[in-house]
Amino acid sequence: MSAAALDGLIAHEEALIAALDAGDLGGLEQAVHALRGALSNLVAVGGWHASPDLKIRLSQALRLAEAAGGRVNYLADDNRRRIDRLASVVGQPRAQAYGRTGRFG
């Protein structure tokens, strides 16, 4: 693992978090694609030799991944609550509010 590849991953994770926090769908899509590329670059580097600096940066990357995951979970829960509220407005029970077709009822 190279420091440059790890720094790229961290930068793209930070961009993903910023897009999630801003609710920027275009930025979110770009960040996801860029993150995918950064992960591919990291894998392409192959093996690495542990150094104290790389361990610190890797720990930072893992914390950022957890932070992004927490935000995604929050947004998914918020979306579920909104769907439930919409379902109650149209008189649909929760289980039937949102089907595989993406349509109510």
Q: For each successive 10 residues of the chain (105 residues), what is the average pLDDT? A: 85 95 93 93 78 86 94 89 84 62 56
Query: What pLDDT shows up at residue 92?
Result: 74
Cβ neighbours, 10 Å, residue 29? 11
**Whole-model pTM over 0.85:** no
The Cα–Cα gap between 89 and 81 comes to 13
Query: What pLDDT shows up at residue 96?
Result: 54
Query: What pLDDT shows up at residue 9?
Result: 92
Query: What pLDDT shows up at residue 21?
Result: 94
Query: What pLDDT shows up at residue 99?
Result: 56
